[in-house]
Structure 1
Amino acid sequence: MKKLMIIAIALLTLNATAQDKKNRKGFLNDLSAEEAATLKTKKMTLQLDLNDSQQQKVKVLMLEDAKQKEGIRAKRKAKKESEDSKKPTKEERYAMANNRLDKQIEMKKQMKIILNDEQYKKWEASLSKNGRKKQIRHQKNKSDKKQ
């Protein structure tokens, strides 16, 4: 009986932890484009020690990026809610990936103009670090869905 209670408590704790992670993931999605841009800019200011003019330029760039992402999210949500919610074709996936990469290239060009060499290196290092984290998370989510 005691073992059963311990197992039940462990399962409830695990379930509560999983729910909490889902709620945290949506935090940035709940913010407006202006709020998300402000937070990202402040985080970059702390990380890269940006001066005032750099902060203003980065904030404009982040605001533009956040608005684009908000639009994409809205389109995806509308498509998902419609009856016509099917997976994208190979050509559509190619176009989306190509568009995303073009935006990343443009972002890098803009950041290279705004940041000095040392800051740019730090920023690129943080991008690769975050990219590895996302890959690990993505692989973990895939394995969780298979089970």
Structure 2
Amino acid sequence: MIKKVILLGMAVFMTGSIAMAQHGGPRGNKRGMAKDLTPAQLATLQTKKMTLALDLTAEQQSEVLRINTEDIEARQAEHEELKQMRLENDQSTNRAEAQFARQKARLDSKIARQEKLKEVLNAQQYAQWKKMNRHLERNRRQPPQ
């Protein structure tokens, strides 16, 4: 009888573990949640996080919100364009050249965003933002464990 209870418990545990692994753990898939939000909502959340971390003034918040909204809209447009290219299976251009162009445009966009934020934030806030940004970039590059 005890063996049956233990085996049943193990089976329930294994089933639960498999289900959790398929859904990305107990917190679910973070990226899936972001797909349901509009660019304005995403920009607002990002701005609020920056406000908490950098202690932004009301004027800075409105400027940062504008910058974040522009950035998110541009990234979503780029994502849609890439998705459309994949659907069309466009092989007419060299894949390496297209990848280079996308990467160059993405980096140019990051540089422009950084310059805009540098104008809005004071020196201390900008230094803190750079530190936070480096931390986020480092975490993005690491494979999930």
Displacement of 1:15 = 2.6
Alignment of structure 1 residues 65-84 onto 2, 5 Å = 65-82=71-88, 84=89
Tell me the number of residue pairs that the alignment of Structure 1 and Structure 2 aligns.
137
With normalisation by structure 2, the TM-score equals: 0.82
TM-score under structure 1 length normalisation: 0.81
Q: 1:128 is matched with which residue?
A: 134
Moved more, 2-11 or 112-121: 2-11
Aligned match of 2:96: 90
- Which residue in the other structure is 1:144 paired with? none
Give, in angstroms, the shift of residue 114 of structure 1: 0.4
Aligned match for 1:26, one of 16, 19, 32: 32
User: Does the C-alpha gap of structure 1 residues 57 and 125 become closer, same or farther in structure 2, counting only changes over 3 Å?
Assistant: same
CA distance in 1, matches of 2:19, 2:59: 44
Q: Which of these residues, 63, 69, 90, is aligned with residue 57 of structure 1?
A: 63
RMSD: 2.2
Deviation, structure 1 residue 100? 0.9
Match of 1:11 in 2: 14
Taking every aligned residue pair, what percent have the same amino acid on both sides? 30
Give per-residue Cα distances to partners, 1:64-113, cap 9 Å, x unaligned.
Answer: 0111112122223333334x266x71111111111111111111111111
Q: Which amino acid aligns with 1:32?
A: T
Q: Distance in 1 between matches of 2:95 and 2:86?
A: 15
Ranges in structure 1 where 5+ consecutive residues have no aligned partner: 142-147
- Distance of aligned partners of 1:97 and 1:38 in 2 relative to their CA distance in 1, 3 Å threshold: same
Per-residue deviation, 1:121: 0.8
Structure 2, unaligned runs of 5 or more = none
Higher helix fraction (1 or 2): 1
